């Protein structure tokens, strides 16, 4: 009979083996990320247009607006 616990070796082996990631979950995450990116892009474009229109109303030139927007 040994008084040394060796069950930590089992835990070590589990940490070494990579678990497979469920494909359906990965696909769902990718779709959600794409939808979020699309929505963010639409919001960013709308905000840039609003900012440019506001600047035009204040008399700023289109060239200056483009420069400030980094276009």
- Classify burial at 33, counting beta carbons within 10 Å of its beta carbon; exposed 0-12, middle 13-18, buried 19 or more: exposed
Of residues 49 and 19, more confidently modeled: 49
The pLDDT, as a whole number, for residue 16 is: 64
Determine phi and psi for 59, rounding to 5 degrees.
Answer: 100, 10
The pLDDT, as a whole number, for residue 10 is: 64
Write down the mean pLDDT value for the chain: 87
Instruction: Tell me the pTM.
Output: 0.60
Mean pLDDT score, 26-40? 96
Per cent of the chain over pLDDT 90 is 68
The pLDDT, as a whole number, for residue 46 is: 97
Q: Are 65 and 55 in contact (CB under 8 A)?
A: yes
């Amino acid at each position: 009979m040994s008084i040394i616990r060796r069950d930590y070796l089992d835990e070590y082996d589990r940490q070494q083996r990579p678990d497979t990631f469920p494909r359906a979950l990965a696909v769902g995450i990718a779709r959600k990320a794409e939808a979020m990116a699309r929505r963010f892009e639409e919001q960013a474009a709308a905000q840039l247009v609003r900012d440019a229109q506001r600047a035009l109303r204040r008399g700023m030139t289109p060239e200056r607006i483009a420069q400030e927007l980094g276009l």
